[in-house]
Amino acid sequence: MRQQTDHAEIITGWVPKTLRTPNNHDRIANMDKVVNFVNQSIEELKKIRWPSKKETIRLTGFVIGVSLGVGLFVMFFDYLFAKLVTFLLTK
């Protein structure tokens, strides 16, 4: 039976042993930071809870409704200010 590998083993396994010399200590330290970041990112991505289809449709409708409401609000005041400016300049 095949043993399941951990993501950390897969990612850290690609660093060649020839790079692990005292002269390349800074490079290896930077690689270790990158590997640590990627491993933490993978763990965080596992925690994501995606919304259901019903919830996505409901929230999309809400965003569209609010956008239309704000658009109408801005359009109304734009029209009102345009009429006001026209009235003040033509008088």
pLDDT in tens, 56-69: 999 999 999 999 99
Domain identity same for 39 and 78? no
Domain identity same for 41 and 54? no
Say what the pLDDT of residue 33 is. 83
Cα 85 to Cα 25, 57, 90: the distances in Å are: 69, 42, 9
How many domains does the chain fold into?
2
The structure's pTM equals: 0.49
pLDDT in tens, 8-41: 445 555 556 666 555 566 666 777 888 889 999 9
Domain identity same for 27 and 68? no
In the structure encoding, which two tokens stand for residue 8, read together? 């950390």
Domain identity same for 54 and 88? yes
Give the domain range for residue 91. Answer: 50-91
Domain identity same for 71 and 28? no
Q: How high is the mean pLDDT of the chain?
A: 82
Domain identity same for 55 and 74? yes
What per-residue string of b and e applies to 40-66 under the rule 16 or more CB within 10 Å gives b?
A: eeeeeeeeeeeeeeeeeeeeeeeeeee
Domain identity same for 80 and 70? yes
